[in-house]
Amino acid sequence: MEKKNGNSCILAITAYLLALGFVLAFASPTLSSASNMFPGFIKWHVYIVNGLGNNQNLLAHCKSADDDVGIQNLSPGSNFTWSFRTDFTHSTLFWCYVRKDNASASFNVFWYDDRLFQKCDWKKCIWSARDEGIYLTNFDEDVDDLYYQWDAGE
Ligand SMILES: *[C@@H]1O[C@H](CO)[C@@H](O)[C@H](O)[C@H]1NC(C)=O
Ligand SMILES: *[C@@H]1O[C@H](CO)[C@@H](O)[C@H](O)[C@H]1NC(C)=O
């Protein structure tokens, strides 16, 4: 009997917290602490930027297990973006294959990780392909982090 009471009390608290979470997330989308607690409610944006020198084009093909963003041909200095919400199993993963003259790279651009979310300022992950490698704009420390190297060839 006591155990049953204890369980229903925990259930009531859980239901209350869930309800509070929904209210916070939907009623005040600008309240960033609510977003930080519930990454699932954030609309995430990923950018791929052609930051290459020598007037090179960048070919990019990004996808997840469920979505194919399509093949993009980026002229020098241009970018493309797409957006999505994470699934509630925290398994959302997007990756890209990019190619420039004489080199290519395959790398993850979005995965479920608070450190990445922090760098992306809880809304946008900006990946820039440069001659020296692939960089992520780190909004947390106001720097660009070198994340991935080019592989020679295709
Ligand atoms: C992407 O390109 C648009 C249009 O040129 C520009 O306004 C925007 O600042 C670019 N975004 C990034 C992250 O480079
Ligand atoms: C690509 O390789 C060719 C042949 O080796 C070379 O002439 C060219 O400069 C290279 N391009 C770049 C951008 O490195």
> Dihedral angle at the C-alpha atoms of 91, 106, 119, 125, nearest 10 degrees?
-80
Whether 38 has a pLDDT exceeding 50, the answer reads: yes
Question: What integer is the mean pLDDT of 86-111?
Answer: 93
Residue range 51-82, pLDDT digits in tens: 999 999 999 999 999 999 999 999 999 999 99
Q: Indicate if ligand 1 lies below 6 Å from the C-beta of 139.
A: no
Residue range 132-149, pLDDT digits in tens: 999 999 999 999 999 999
The per-residue pLDDT for 24 is 47
Report d(CA 87, CA 44) in Å as an integer. Answer: 12
Distance (angstroms) between ligand 2 centre and the Cα of 101 equals 7
Residue range 103-141, pLDDT digits in tens: 999 999 999 999 999 999 999 999 999 999 999 999 999
The per-residue pLDDT for 1 is 42
Q: Indicate if ligand 2 lies below 6 Å from the C-beta of 55.
A: no
Q: Indicate if ligand 2 lies below 6 Å from the C-beta of 54.
A: yes
Q: What is the pTM of this model?
A: 0.77
| Of 135, 152, 154, 153, residue with least CA distance to 144 | 135
End-to-end CA separation in angstroms for the chain: 67
Choose the residue to mutate in 79, 127, 130, 138 for probing ligand 1, maximizing ligand atoms within 8 Å of C-beta. 79
Name the strand (E) or helix (H) holding 62: strand 58-63
Beta bridge partners of 44: 84
Q: Indicate if ligand 2 lies below 6 Å from the C-beta of 154.
A: no
Q: What pLDDT band is residue 7 in, cutting at 50, 70 and 90?
A: low
CB distance 47 to 79 below 8 Å: yes
The per-residue pLDDT for 88 is 75
